[in-house]
Amino acid sequence: MLIKANYLDFGPTLAAEKLAERHGLRLGVETVRRWMIADGIWRDRRERLKPVHQPRYRRDCVGELIQIDGSQHWWFEDRGPQCTLLVFIDDATSRLMHLQFVTAESTFDYFAATRSYLQRYGKPVAFYSDKHATFRVNKVGATGGNGMTQFGRALDQLNIDIICANVPQAKGRVERANGTLQDRLVKELRLAGISSLEAGNAFLPGFMEDFNRRFAKEPFNDKDLHRPLATDDDIDEAFAWKEERTVSQNLTLQYDKMLFILEPTDAGHTPPLPPTRHHLRLSGWSVCHPAPGPRPALSDLRQGSAGRSSRGRREQEVR
């Protein structure tokens, strides 16, 4: 077809003109339009209109829904590196609850930021996020695991819901806050002469207080739905990277290019180990923890530099 070969990115009107001028084919614009729509190279005007997103009412109470997002930007302009600002904003009041500069939007950074949030405010009913891989398993056809990301598993362990928005417009409060912060916060950092993540994070509490005084709304209901951390809420254990491994018949397991050997004892279990960066559990029972103990029962055999683990903060669950 001439249109596909020569005028693939032309509109129907221009394509009809060129067909007449260059090929002697005089066709009506509507005829060309119908042909192009049928061939899938043109979309009807109604299909090209942006979808309408109806506004979603705010939640009634503080702590009922906390929108979270990461905004990558040149926050320090040319004075410092590009970085990401993690933003926690309350849906009921548009109040900035927590801000934190990090190098990148990663699971470990969300672990640290969420931990700080929970220690200050308690547990909200739910967090509202996008479909970033930190919050949602995006691999098509994934069959392994329990369907949760590390962050989702940590929240589930603490009885906090995670809701993933289908479109950015659904979490408009945090998206609009990102735009405002990229204007106001950048200028405030410039006036304060701040050029590093450490100095920026020290500056953020005062900025948040002033921002909320100016822009936060009153909630429809004065009740605060944050729940205090319970005695059995172990946030150290919750916000640890966990992976399952199966112990072989010769009492070995592999992780991160390292081979771990479990040595049996007369008591039928492994005694405690000296401090280690890896924490292992066998069928839910701890076989390694950072407390002094007798002769090590867990050895890690390293093969040159390949044995250096980049996941020192992760905790392995072994069964």
Class level of CATH domain 66-215? alpha beta
Using alpha carbons only, give the angle 194, 200, 204 rounded to the nearest 5 degrees. 125
The residue among 267, 258, 312 whose CA lies nearest residue 285 is 267
- Distance CA(162)–CA(169), nearest Å, equals 17
Q: What is the pLDDT along the chain (319 residues), one digit of tens a residue?
A: 677 778 777 888 888 888 888 888 888 888 888 888 888 888 776 666 566 656 678 889 999 999 999 999 999 999 999 999 999 999 999 999 999 999 988 899 999 999 999 999 999 999 998 877 788 776 655 444 556 888 888 999 999 999 887 766 667 788 889 889 999 999 999 999 999 999 999 999 999 999 999 999 999 999 999 999 988 898 888 898 887 777 777 778 787 788 877 776 654 454 444 444 556 665 555 554 333 434 334 444 333 333 333 444 444 443 3
Long-range contacts of 150-153 (CB under 8 A, 24+ apart): 150/107, 150/111, 150/241, 150/242, 151/107, 151/110, 151/111, 151/114, 153/242
* Structural domain spans, the chain: 2-48, 66-215, 240-318
Query: Do β-strands 126-129 and 96-102 pair in parallel, antiparallel, or remain unpaired?
Result: unpaired
Residue 289 to residue 19: CA distance in whole angstroms: 77
What is the spatial distance between Cα 39 and Cα 30, in angstroms, rounded to a whole number? 14
